[in-house]
Amino acid sequence: MKYYLRPTDVKNFIFCPYRFYYSYVNNIGYTKSNWDRLGKLAEHARREEILAKVEKEFENVFSSKQLLASEKYGLRGIPDMVLRHKKFSYYAVLEIKYSKRLRAEQVYSLASYALLLEDNGYYPVKELLLFLTRTNKLYRFHFSPELRKKTENILALMRKIIDGKLEPWPNSAHCHSCDFQNYCPWWKHRADR
């Protein structure tokens, strides 16, 4: 594998394939906002509280500073928490996000972490957990065969874009809040109307 994708890249791709293209393929940097920095602070400040919410069922088995890589999936990343179910011994990945609402891109980012974990010996991953700090809600998803397949297909599409075999396309629902408006031909086309 000549390059590795990150779960954040998967999130960017779902948000808008052009966003992924500009940030990953063209290496146009995304400037972290104060919201991004605030989110990281909230994540670290609430880590123990969040772990307390799941400790009846799970134990934390992973140092959050450990980088994982998968040659099979061409992924690398550092999950917030890897948990093992105390009774049934399966694994779960937990991500903490500074957000008010659940978004599809967050679920696929979690699913890509699950693929990464399984390829590193944390098998089987059966649950994906997402804690949103702004609403204090914990969401749980089953890592189903369908979600696994969809995530693998997304990774394949991303690789086709990287390899120049597929052109990215816009997700116009997000154009108004995109950081790449200055570069995007789709945005320029819309602005010219």
The answer on pLDDT for 1 being more than 60 is: no
* Measured CA distances, 192 to 61, 141, 186, 187 (Å): 53, 42, 10, 9
The answer on pLDDT for 86 being more than 70 is: yes
The answer on pLDDT for 132 being more than 90 is: yes
The answer on pLDDT for 191 being more than 70 is: no
CA 140 to CA 129: how far, in whole Å? 5
> How do residues 135-166 score in pLDDT, each as one tens digit?
999 999 999 999 999 999 999 999 999 999 99
pLDDT at position 26: 83
The string of DSSP letters for 125-190 reads EEEEEEEETTTTEEEEEE--HHHHHHHHHHHHHHHHHHTTSS-----GGGGGG-TTTTT-HHHHHH
State the Rg of the chain over Cα: 17
Domains in the chain with CATH codes: 7-191 (3.90.320.10)
